[in-house]
């Protein structure tokens, strides 16, 4: 059962009590990520995430993690394009400790100048490690290709020159503006006493104050028709193709999840069966969704020999076009409703997964759907919904592409997929390219 309320300081709280468990997951999610940064400060949100672990007025960096791990708990954090989350999972008997440590990190961090300089080296190595991963390089390149000058194109980690430019003053100023109770949510899921939890949250977070409220406002960037290529001395060619997706919270999102599942969501999907199983052109191929506030994208990824790239792109392009025209059968619709219901339900079998899902929904939509409501939405997907998404997302075809590999003729590869964009641009409604 969900309980949602707001503290006097504007901090929203969502709790879900699951009595039969003996664990509890606690998270503080802030509506701030790389999308909220200026170009000059790109990477500072992720940098700040690291710095919150580097010591407070009453705990050293070692004590922060040691106190949690000494009771068998787990503590971690992540930064995405649109949010940052700090969380602890522990036995329910250590709920007080979890809230104490999270509040101490977020409200009492020292941001010692010496620690800041040391962390620049750590994050520089994290960036270097990311640059050694073709998939990470591909993802960053495709963001640039897809979103152009919009801040959605910025890499979450930032760049090494930007990281080296950060100092205590920039960090404190950014936090004072972007870390407020008004754009944050505390999410708790597991076993707890509701009245005791309410007192603890008030005790540890009730004094969180901000000079002004920060409510992020996002643009709805047009998905660019473009391509990018990064030359890297590796064996395979890594390819990412972008189709139009849907924004987070769109009414047709469940229909898009279903269609994506059929196209590239597993080993029985169209692309896997055609490109890998039937033709043997690759080892890995799949599609996935990237929903953001006000915009979204559907990506197709594959890694293969550059000698097979043109053939693979021809097949992928053909399958996307056929899919947009022929749609799906009634049997496919019913089978894939069951698949996505199972994926949804299995994904909620851990308190941390539920905590994250609740936090994100409450943070961005100010509401949470029950499991019954979600299942009902999936069950209610009909042919009209499916056709609407086929028209919105698949009919325009492949809009952009990025490649990472060695000595690639990207122009030849682009000629395979971008011919459909030209044809679609000449059709009746060019605005269908706008997200």
What span, in angstroms and rounded, lies between the C-alpha atoms of 261 and 346?
Answer: 16
Q: What's the confidence (pLDDT) of residue 429?
A: 33
Among 247-251, 294-298, 334-338, 346-350, whose mean pLDDT is lowest? 346-350
Domain membership flag for residue 253: yes
Mean pLDDT, the chain, rounded, equals 93
Domain membership flag for residue 350: yes
What would the DSSP string read from start to end of 364-415?
HHS----HHHHHHHHHT--HHHHHHHIIIIITT---EEEEEESS--HHHHHH
Mean pLDDT to the nearest integer, 310-326: 96
Q: What's the confidence (pLDDT) of residue 435?
A: 22
- One domain for residues 255 and 197: no
Measured from the Cβ of residue 378, the count of other Cβ atoms closer than 10 Å reads: 19
- One domain for residues 292 and 385: yes
Among 43-52, 78-87, 151-160, 422-431, whose mean pLDDT is lowest? 422-431
- One domain for residues 238 and 348: yes
pTM (two decimals): 0.92
What pLDDT band is residue 348 in, cutting at 50, 70 and 90?
Answer: confident
Domain membership flag for residue 214: no
Last residue of a domain, one of 205, 236, 265: 205
3-state secondary structure of 191: coil
Assign residue 345 the CATH number of its domain.
Answer: 3.30.830.10
Reported as a single tens digit per residue, the pLDDT across 48-97 is 999 999 999 999 999 999 999 999 999 999 999 999 999 999 999 999 99
* Residue span of the structural domain in which 89 resides: 2-205
Last residue of a domain, one of 151, 174, 205: 205
- One domain for residues 423 and 379: yes
Domain membership flag for residue 212: no
Measured from the Cβ of residue 70, the count of other Cβ atoms closer than 10 Å reads: 11
What pLDDT band is residue 420 in, cutting at 50, 70 and 90?
Answer: low
Catalytic amino acids?
49
- One domain for residues 394 and 252: yes
CA distances from 423 to 388, 414, 426, 430 (A): 20, 14, 5, 10
What's the domain count of the chain? 2
- One domain for residues 233 and 199: no
- One domain for residues 257 and 314: yes
Q: What's the confidence (pLDDT) of residue 84?
A: 98
Reported as a single tens digit per residue, the pLDDT across 120-143 is 999 999 999 999 999 999 999 999
Reported as a single tens digit per residue, the pLDDT across 281-314 is 999 999 999 999 999 999 999 999 999 999 999 9
Domain membership flag for residue 375: yes
- One domain for residues 147 and 103: yes
pLDDT(433) > 90: no
- One domain for residues 133 and 266: no
Q: What's the confidence (pLDDT) of residue 423?
A: 44
What span, in angstroms and rounded, lies between the C-alpha atoms of 75 and 67?
Answer: 10
Domain membership flag for residue 240: yes
Nearest one of 218, 377, 394, 226 to 292, comparing CA atoms: 218
Mean pLDDT to the nearest integer, 366-380: 94
For tokens 């009414």, name the residue.
251
Q: What's the confidence (pLDDT) of residue 280?
A: 97
Q: What's the confidence (pLDDT) of residue 142?
A: 97
- One domain for residues 233 and 200: no
pLDDT(223) > 70: yes
Domain membership flag for residue 210: no
Q: What's the confidence (pLDDT) of residue 198?
A: 97
Nearest one of 330, 143, 326, 131 to 231, comparing CA atoms: 131
- One domain for residues 147 and 233: no
What span, in angstroms and rounded, lies between the C-alpha atoms of 342 and 336?
Answer: 10
- One domain for residues 269 and 324: yes
Q: What are phi and psi of 83, to 5 degrees?
A: -155, 160
């Amino acid at each position: 059962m969900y309980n949602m309320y707001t503290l006097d300081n504007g901090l929203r709280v969502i709790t879900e009590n699951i009595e039969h468990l003996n664990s509890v997951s606690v998270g503080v999610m802030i509506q701030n990520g790389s999308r909220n940064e200026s170009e000059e400060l790109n990477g500072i949100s992720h940098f700040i995430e690291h710095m919150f672990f580097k010591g407070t007025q009453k705990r050293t960096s070692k004590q922060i993690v040691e106190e949690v791990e000494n009771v068998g708990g787990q503590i971690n954090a992540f930064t995405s394009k649109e949010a940052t989350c700090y969380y602890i999972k522990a036995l329910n008997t250590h709920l007080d400790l979890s809230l104490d440590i999270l509040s101490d990190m977020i409200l009492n961090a020292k941001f010692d100048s010496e620690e800041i300089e040391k962390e620049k080296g750590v994050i520089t190595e994290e960036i270097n490690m990311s640059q050694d991963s073709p998939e990470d390089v591909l993802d960053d390149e495709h963001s640039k290709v897809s979103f152009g000058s919009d801040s959605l194109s910025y890499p979450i980690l930032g760049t090494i020159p930007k990281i080296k430019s950060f100092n205590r003053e920039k960090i404190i100023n950014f936090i004072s503006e972007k870390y407020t109770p008004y754009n944050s949510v505390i999410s708790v899921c597991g076993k707890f006493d509701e009245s005791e939890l309410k007192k603890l949250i008030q005790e540890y977070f009730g004094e969180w104050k901000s000079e002004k409220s920060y409510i992020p406002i996002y643009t709805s960037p047009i998905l660019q028709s473009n391509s990018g290529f990064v030359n890297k001395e590796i064996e395979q060619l890594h390819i990412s193709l972008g189709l139009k997706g849907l924004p987070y919270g769109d009414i047709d999102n469940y229909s898009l999840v279903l269609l994506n599942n059929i196209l590239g969501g597993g080993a029985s999907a169209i692309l896997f069966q055609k490109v890998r199983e039937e033709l043997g052109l690759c080892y890995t191929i799949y599609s996935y969704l990237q929903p953001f506030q006000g915009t979204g994208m559907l990506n197709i990824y594959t890694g293969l020999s550059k000698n097979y790239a043109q053939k693979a792109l021809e097949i992928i392009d053909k399958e996307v076009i056929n899919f947009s025209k022929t749609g799906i059968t009634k049997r496919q619709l019913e089978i894939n409703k069951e698949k996505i219901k199972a994926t949804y339900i299995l994904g909620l079998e851990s308190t941390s997964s539920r905590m994250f899902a609740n936090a994100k929904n409450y943070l961005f939509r100010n509401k949470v759907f029950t499991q019954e409501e979600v299942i009902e939405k999936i069950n209610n997907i009909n042919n009209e919904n499916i056709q609407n998404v086929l028209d919105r997302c698949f009919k325009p075809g492949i809009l952009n592409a990025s490649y990472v590999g060695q000595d690639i003729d990207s122009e030849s590869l682009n000629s395979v997929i971008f011919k459909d964009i030209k044809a679609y641009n000449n059709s009746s409604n060019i605005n269908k390219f706008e997200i």
